[in-house]
Chain A
């Protein structure tokens, strides 16, 4: 399983765009990249998933360069409620998609 590395913490202000980059140098051909958000005392919540290039949904965008050794989660115009821990994970969706969580990025959004 590919190991991921993310910044431990990030600070931002309301209304700003936040980009969280994750390194996964050993990503395998069959691995997908998935990002989750977790609030205290809750289970992680699926944000976005991608394999290559760019993926966008109603809450975030995911940018993946051609070599796939990193990915960037982009949160447009964050609000206070986006304060949470964000996890980047890689896993093979064709083999029960076992996920190993890294330390995550603790995002603090200030007023």
Chain B
């Protein structure tokens, strides 16, 4: 149980384009989803916390206009990297939780901006 699916697993695109990443909880309703980014050989950095039906809460230093998060249903949250540039290239990971259950993570999206 507790499966979180993330799509796409890898995306390569040109600088200036916007990229949408989807995070789905497949077998449970996720009241809260989280978005992280991870650089090579580094730990996960929390970007934002997303609750269904409300605005996301961003961590300090994360631009909310750059990283748009939508949590429209209890099983889907999306992260859109707007006008992506090479410095946005990273590994983006989502997680989902329900109530007081542990977070369960997706398998990440490798974003490469040329």
Give the interface of A toward B (CB within 8 A).
34, 36, 41-46, 49, 87, 93-94, 96-104
User: Main secondary structure on chain B at its contact with chain A?
Assistant: strand
B44 proximity list for chain A (CB < 8 A) = 44, 87, 101
User: Main secondary structure on chain A at its contact with chain B?
Assistant: loop
B106 proximity list for chain A (CB < 8 A) = 43
Of chain A, the residue at the smallest CB distance from B97 is A97
**Complex partner residue of A101 from B2, B32, B45, B49, CB under 8 angstroms:** B45
Residues B43 and A46 in contact, CB atoms below 8 Å apart: no
Residues B108 and A97 in contact, CB atoms below 8 Å apart: no
B103 proximity list for chain A (CB < 8 A) = 34, 46, 97, 99
Shortest CB-to-CB span from B10 to chain A, Å, is 9
**Complex partner residue of B105 from A41, A45, A96, A100, CB under 8 angstroms:** A45
Residues A100 and B46 in contact, CB atoms below 8 Å apart: yes
Q: A49-B102, A93-B100, A97-B102 are in contact. Are A41 and B34 (CB under 8 A)?
A: no
Q: Closest 7 A-B residue pairs measured CB to CB? A: A43-B105, A93-B100, A101-B44, A101-B43, A43-B93, A96-B32, A44-B105
Is B91 in the interface zone, CB < 8 Å from A?
A: yes
A36 proximity list for chain B (CB < 8 A) = 105
Residues B108 and A42 in contact, CB atoms below 8 Å apart: yes
